[in-house]
């Protein structure tokens, strides 16, 4: 925090990015971030609302003479890449923590900036080949399957059978529907 700083940009709400930020933050520069990140900064860190300027994804704002566009970084809720168009004409893209998705190639602001970006700021924490992660879709599918299994198991413990099993029994022609009994 410095009296000389006119604006702060917070790409997302992870400790390695907001380190040192707390209820004692006084500005005078405002913190610029997405609405989700702003809500977390207020709720979890106690920063006063009047010291935060929040934006929706794809919003472009003028801050200290630069146009800044907040783009979905596909990292965590509220995480944004920041596209800066400086008054000098230079274009800088701060990726922060992002998870690439082919849909990003269709972001209008990035299409306009394509082949014009003067500086690119990357977080390369997991860029080493030793780090291999499943795709985001594979991760979502694995979590959904695990949750479905937990729900099914929990339902059996309480009601004696899973809803799909109950529906299948009652839908079988010639088989009378039987009420579920607790195990």
Predicted confidence (pLDDT) per residue in 40-79, tens digit: 999 898 889 999 999 999 999 999 999 999 999 998 889 9
| Distance linking the first and last C-alpha atoms of the chain | 60
pLDDT at 183: 44
Residue/partner pairs of 154-157 with CB below 8 Å, 24 or more apart: 156/183, 157/183
SS3 assignment, position 179? coil
The structure tokens listed for 18 are 């907001």
The structure tokens listed for 41 are 């900064």
Instruction: Report the percent of the chain where pLDDT is more than 90.
Output: 47
Is the pTM higher than 0.75? The answer reads: no
């Amino acid at each position: 925090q410095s009296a000389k700083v006119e604006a702060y940009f917070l790409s997302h709400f992870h400790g390695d990015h907001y380190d040192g930020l707390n209820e004692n933050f006084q500005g005078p520069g405002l913190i610029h971030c997405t609405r989700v990140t702003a809500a977390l900064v207020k709720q979890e860190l106690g920063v006063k609302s009047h010291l935060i300027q929040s934006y929706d994804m794809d919003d472009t704002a003028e801050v200290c003479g630069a146009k800044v566009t907040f783009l979905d970084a596909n990292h965590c809720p509220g995480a944004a890449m920041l596209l800066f168009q400086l008054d000098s004409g230079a274009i800088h893209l701060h990726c922060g923590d992002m998870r690439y998705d082919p849909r990003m190639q269709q972001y209008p602001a990035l299409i306009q900036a394509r082949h014009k970006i003067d500086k690119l700021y990357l977080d390369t924490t997991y860029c080493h080949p030793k780090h291999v992660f499943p795709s985001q879709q594979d991760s979502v599918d694995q979590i959904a399957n695990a949750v479905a299994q937990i729900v099914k198991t929990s339902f059996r413990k309480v009601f004696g059978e899973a809803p799909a099993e109950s529906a299948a029994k009652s839908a079988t022609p010639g088989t009378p529907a039987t009420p579920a009994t607790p195990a």
